[in-house]
A = this chain, B = another copy of it.
Amino acid sequence: VTIDADLLAILVCPLTRTPLRREGDELIADAAGLAYPIREGVPVLVVEKARRLPILPRQGEVAAEG
**Which chain B positions have C-beta within 8 A of A38?**
10-11
**Which chain B positions have C-beta within 8 A of A3?**
22
Q: Is A41 an interface residue (CB 8 A)?
A: yes
Number of interface residues of A (CB under 8 A): 20
Partner of A10 from B11, B14, B17, B41 at Cβ < 8 Å: B41
**Nearest opposing residue in chain B for A27, CB measure:** B7
**Nearest opposing residue in chain B for A23, CB measure:** B3
Shortest Cβ distance from A8 into chain B, in angstroms?
A: 4
Q: Is A50 an interface residue (CB 8 A)?
A: no
In the bound complex, how far is the Cα of B7 from the Cα of A3, in angstroms?
12
Q: Is A32 an interface residue (CB 8 A)?
A: no
